């Protein structure tokens, strides 16, 4: 199962997210849950890096199955607003996958 842990500050600001595990929906290379979650998360990060000047702390597992991103508290307000919007879009997309494939992906908010 893929576990997505999203940490939000009391204000609602997303400060980090971590994806860990494998969906095990199908064999490697044919797992649409894994492919979808990967595309959504990397798409969001690529959008942030391409559309803003935010410097994120990103960590990936060498063999796949792990992605962690921490968003600095020191981003200028306008940049942080864009980053937050893109991350909220990522969450909506991941929740859509979770609704359909809840045995293979779980989102947890902290």
CA distance 48 to 84: 9
Which 8-state DSSP code applies to residue 61? -
Any idea which residues carry the catalytic annotation? 22, 34
Which residues 6+ apart lie within 8 Å of 84 measured at CB? 13, 14
Please state the rounded mean pLDDT for residues 98-108: 98
Which residues 6+ apart lie within 8 Å of 57 measured at CB? 69, 70, 71, 72
Q: Are 15 and 8 in contact (CB under 8 A)?
A: yes
Specify the pTM.
0.95
Which 8-state DSSP code applies to residue 15? E
pLDDT at residue 62 above 90?
no
CATH no., domain 2-109: 3.30.70.1490
Please state the rounded mean pLDDT for residues 50-69: 94
Sequence ranges of the domains in the chain: 2-109
């Amino acid at each position: 199962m893929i576990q997505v842990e999203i940490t939000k500050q009391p204000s609602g600001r997303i400060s980090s997210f971590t994806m860990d595990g494998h969906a095990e929906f199908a064999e490697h290379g044919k797992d649409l849950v894994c492919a979808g979650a990967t595309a959504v998360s990397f798409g969001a990060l690529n959008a942030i890096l391409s559309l803003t000047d935010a410097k994120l702390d990103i960590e990936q597992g060498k063999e796949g199955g792990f992605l962690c991103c921490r968003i600095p508290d020191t981003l200028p307000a306008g940049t942080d607003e864009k980053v937050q919007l893109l991350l909220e879009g990522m969450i909506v997309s991941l929740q859509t996958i979770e609704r359909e494939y809840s045995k293979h992906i779980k989102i947890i908010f902290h």
